[in-house]
Structure 1
């Protein structure tokens, strides 16, 4: 029996998502779409990890026009399921949305569903491994209402644990750049959380958004970038004494003696073609001497040529010794995705 599956994604990434799925899952047949949401008829079930561009994904239950319609479709999932109500991505970066409006449509529907069916859903929104999740998807609050789409998934490591995978994390006033939000979203989506006292190296660190986020989490951070770092990063001293060290040279010229003997985290967000960036990632993975717990590698997708190279990039990333590699496109991403490596 045919099933239907859905993917949410950035509207601008729809064509890349379809092309990637055509290669990885040729059994999928396009069924229905709205900006930021694409569904397919599937000859077989299971789509976990099928697309690097999916923000969230699962099995389709159908479209709804009211709270009662949603609750009728929800009969397909067990009582106590986690409820994820979220808005599709709009046609602009998450940090350019009006934060006074963004998310309000989803929040109102979440409240209405819980009020109409007390005790039907779990209290929290952070899903745990094995839990059933009811996904209720609506248009961005700043766009015209075009109905409700309902689906479900069973939570595992291929999904972010929050509605829509992970929400956009607002950039605080003290952060030097939007890279702060990118690393925070990657950590929250993956559940791979750095611990205070650990050490991280960031390639392409200037002006310091991601480094600042890691410093705030209590890590000692070494930033590799010939560019200037924000003074707030250079002068940071954490409660536990953690600090930032700037290596103001290209990644190829950092001397091994200037780095910590081991480090647990590698972050790369360099403005280079992914094939070039991976050369430096490979070098620093080797320099960690097996001590890495994880890595967050941003891959810039500036044109179709880079998209076509994704399978080759994945092969190289797969040889870095990770026990698990996951890919996603985060709310703060533009033409880029992140590879998350766990060792």
Structure 2
């Protein structure tokens, strides 16, 4: 392990979705209070920030009160002045880290576009994997490691940090969760629900009955059907023909306000519509009698005119007291939107 920080301060690199770095920084200020030092690494996306707390305490607060727009954090335990040469990174790694033999460690490397080097991120990673294995007899892994060694490389600095995977908010490099597109996949919207399942700690296979509002063309419906859930899909537009043959699907090709649903029929309600948030909230509120007490709702919220926090406050207020917000997150697969996880009270 690295030497424990003695000073009551800590430095991190934060990453948000492109265009939402300002919102992520505002959340950090709300969580810790001023004073702060922010420096931009990628404008309105990736930034370095210092906190007036030790690393352990700061990390604990960020994890326990996880911000919506801060997608990923990397601790900065060392800042190396460097010129892009690999040797200096290898020298640091083999002299500044203490790891036990057999430790599973994932090396994650990111670099800015301005870094002019012929060495790729993959080559940096491979070289560091080999150096750590030789120096400490560690075992390199891509996922599921005991530690993550994170490197963020710029033309002037190499920012390096060692952490447990759960302390980075995401165990994917930069929080960029990647899913492989499947043959015949209906839409990339499916990735949003896959990511939501991971981020919110859900298992959709545990639900029996689900309601998908605004389902067309069927990306979210298809995932739920794959999980063995019986799905009622509602949309005036058409679902993909392949889905219509599925025995666990009931499809109402009409407006949701024109569909009569049984009370307490569903354990899960999902909605990924492009409506304005308050319009969507009114529709969902009308459908809530069909969701059982203790049931789950996953809603995608379109962010209107970048007034992100106001949009969320209004939506949560509109859906209260029936729905209680558990967690909100701008997922990697969200764009001008975020995803909210509710439980019905």
Fold equivalence (TM over 0.5): yes
Q: 1:198 aligns with which of 204, 208, 216?
A: 208
- Name the counterpart of 1:56: 72
- Name the counterpart of 2:275: 272
Q: 1:14 aligns with which of 17, 21, 28?
A: 21
Change (3 A) 1:219 1:254: same
Change (3 A) 1:197 1:276: closer
- Name the counterpart of 2:86: none
- Name the counterpart of 1:40: 49
Residue 208 of structure 1, CA deviation: 0.9
Q: Secondary structure at the match of 2:175?
A: coil
User: How many angstroms apart in 1 are the aligned matches of 2:176 and 2:205?
Assistant: 20
The 8 Å contact of residues 41 and 48 in structure 2, kept in 1 or not, is answered as no
Matches within 5 A, 1:49-198: 49-64=65-80, 65=82, 66-70=89-93, 74-75=97-98, 80=103, 82-83=105-106, 85=108, 87=110, 105-118=120-133, 119-120=137-138, 123=141, 125-126=143-144, 132-137=147-152, 148-156=158-166, 159-165=169-175, 167-195=177-205, 198=208
Q: Secondary structure at the match of 1:19?
A: helix
The normalised TM-score by structure 1 is: 0.76
The 8 Å contact of residues 134 and 152 in structure 1, kept in 2 or not, is answered as yes
Change (3 A) 1:32 1:321: same
1:251 aligns with 2:256: yes
Change (3 A) 1:152 1:223: farther
State the aligned residue count.
313
Report which of the two structures shows the higher radius of gyration computed on alpha carbons: 2
Unaligned runs of at least 5 residues, structure 2: 1-7, 83-88, 114-118
Change (3 A) 1:138 1:216: farther
Identify the range of structure 1 (74-83 vs 41-50) with the bigger mean alpha-carbon deviation. 74-83
User: How many angstroms apart in 1 are the aligned matches of 2:321 and 2:109?
Assistant: 36
Change (3 A) 1:148 1:245: farther
Q: 1:232 aligns with which of 242, 251, 258?
A: 242
User: How many angstroms apart in 2 are the aligned matches of 1:331 and 1:235?
Assistant: 32
The 8 Å contact of residues 207 and 267 in structure 2, kept in 1 or not, is answered as no
Change (3 A) 1:197 1:339: closer
User: How many angstroms apart in 1 are the aligned matches of 2:149 and 2:322?
Assistant: 35
- Name the counterpart of 1:288: 291
The 8 Å contact of residues 70 and 150 in structure 1, kept in 2 or not, is answered as no
